[in-house]
């Protein structure tokens, strides 16, 4: 049985104290940050806004822009005859070769294929140069100010810089796409190799997935200039954290990420505010085959609060009182949002429990007439 969601929380007895263990935490990286994936709240940071080379963690932004731009991922891209593979990590794409967007996304995020990044940039924007402009425009749109992008793959280039904070927020945005979350935990993927008798098989480079309990993403990166970089995520008891470490010495990026994640899960607690399937409200329907219908959540809402916090977030609804049919249950009709005690907000879409077809007065007359015919003839 679905439970009716009652959004009456009163923030009384507000007592917020922050754990002091952050002072004792030392992360051996040029920069790092840990955030709550739900609200974007910064849980720990050191030099989080310092602009640094990101290496292949760049590809998180590339994937985000592809998912944002392409609805049908079975769409194919044919590489131009003058396609110039930048080399290094890749799947040996060739001029004139055709691949699906989906296959290229898996190659991008698992194999860290630079040529897949090039191909996706061409598919989305026509040229790599136009795609780079899209990258910079998107970070500006997200309100991120530490980044300047020069290519879609992350190989060292003058001025190709971002920050741990920007990367964490870009990752948070990418996680809104279910396919992104699916790709980053996939162990291997097979894609065609037209000029070869064998298919290509790509494997996930991210060892953090097997090293840390609850790990569920995201992307490694390395160049001589950038050093070892890692964007990672982990979920425990519904609380998902995103961590970024840049330029870790001596291949210690996994170890440093474990320390960062441990701090987050020990210092913050998951607070579940709502569950998937909760009925948020009943919506009046005009000209539909139903007069009212439930508005529901399709996802749990869990945020991170300090372990000793007693703060009770208050729900804010953005929802129409009525809607006109036809209505698609897969399209959001509004949202519910909560803020933590320092003002970070999680906003989750609200959907109709089922689709509604249009039903007008003319439809009613037609139905009555049909029943009359069936009854007497």
DSSP string, 38-84: TT--EEEEESTT--B--GGGGHHHHHHHHHHH-S-TT-EEE--TT--
For the four alpha carbons of 152, 156, 157 and 159, in that order, the dihedral sign comes to positive
Catalytic annotation, pick one of 38, 59, 125, 138: 59
Give the whole-angstrom CA distance, residue 52 versus residue 161.
5
Q: Which two tokens stand for residue 269?
A: 């607690």
Known catalytic membership, residue 56: yes
Which residue in the list 38, 89, 112, 339 is annotated as catalytic? 112
Reading the block at residue 2, the tokens are 């679905």
Q: Angle 108-112-117 (CA atoms, 0-180°, nearest 5)?
A: 45
Q: How far is residue 108's CA from residue 65's CA, in Å, rounded to a whole number?
A: 13
The answer to whether residue 2 is catalytic is no
Strand order of the β-sheet with 239-248 is 42-46, 31-36, 239-248, 227-236, 215-223
What is the C-alpha to C-alpha distance for residues 362 and 345, in angstroms, rounded to an integer?
45
* CA distances, 167 to each of 1, 55, 255, 257 (Å): 40, 11, 19, 15
Instruction: Clarify whether 59 is annotated catalytic.
Output: yes
Which distant-in-sequence residues (6+ apart) come within 8 Å of 279 by Cβ?
2, 3, 4, 5, 294, 295, 296, 353
Q: Which of 56, 125, 309, 339 is catalytic?
A: 56
Catalytically active residues, by annotation: 56, 59, 112
């Amino acid at each position: 049985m679905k439970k009716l969601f009652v959004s009456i929380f009163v923030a009384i007895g507000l007592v917020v104290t922050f754990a002091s263990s952050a002072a004792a935490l030392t992360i051996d990286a040029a920069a790092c940050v840990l955030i709550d994936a739900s609200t974007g709240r910064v849980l720990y940071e050191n030099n989080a806004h310092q602009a640094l080379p990101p290496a292949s963690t760049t590809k998180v932004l590339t994937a985000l822009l592809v998912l944002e731009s392409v609805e049908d991922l079975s769409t194919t891209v044919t590489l131009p005859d003058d396609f110039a593979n930048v080399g290094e990590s890749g799947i040996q794409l060739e001029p004139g070769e055709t691949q699906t967007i989906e296959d290229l996304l898996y190659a991008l995020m698992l194999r860290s294929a630079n040529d897949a990044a090039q191909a996706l940039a061409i598919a989305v924007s026509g040229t790599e140069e136009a795609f780079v402009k899209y990258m910079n425009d998107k970070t500006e749109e997200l309100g991120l100010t530490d980044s300047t992008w020069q290519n879609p793959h992350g190989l060292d280039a003058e001025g190709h810089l971002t920050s741990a904070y920007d990367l964490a927020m870009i990752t948070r945005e990418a996680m809104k796409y279910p396919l992104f979350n699916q790709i980053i935990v996939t162990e291997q993927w097979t894609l065609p190799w037209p000029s070869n008798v064998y298919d290509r098989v790509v494997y996930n480079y991210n060892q953090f997935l097997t090293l840390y309990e609850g790990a569920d993403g995201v992307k490694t990166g390395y160049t001589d200039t950038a050093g070892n970089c890692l964007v990672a995520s982990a979920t425990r008891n519904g609380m998902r954290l995103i961590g970024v470490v840049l330029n870790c010495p001596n291949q210690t990026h996994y170890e440093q990420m474990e320390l960062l994640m441990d701090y987050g899960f020990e210092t913050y607690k998951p607070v579940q505010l709502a569950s998937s399937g909760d009925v948020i409200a009943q919506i009046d329907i005009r000209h539909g085959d139903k007069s009212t219908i439930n508005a529901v959540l399709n996802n749990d809402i869990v945020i991170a609060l300090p372990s000793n916090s007693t703060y009770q977030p208050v729900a804010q609804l953005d929802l129409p009182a009525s809607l006109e049919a036809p209505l698609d249950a897969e399209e959001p009709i509004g949202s519910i949002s909560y803020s933590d005690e320092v003002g970070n907000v999680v906003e989750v879409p609200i959907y109709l429990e089922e689709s509604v077809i249009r039903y007008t007065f003319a439809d009613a007359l037609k139905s009555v007439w049909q029943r009359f015919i069936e009854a007497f003839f």
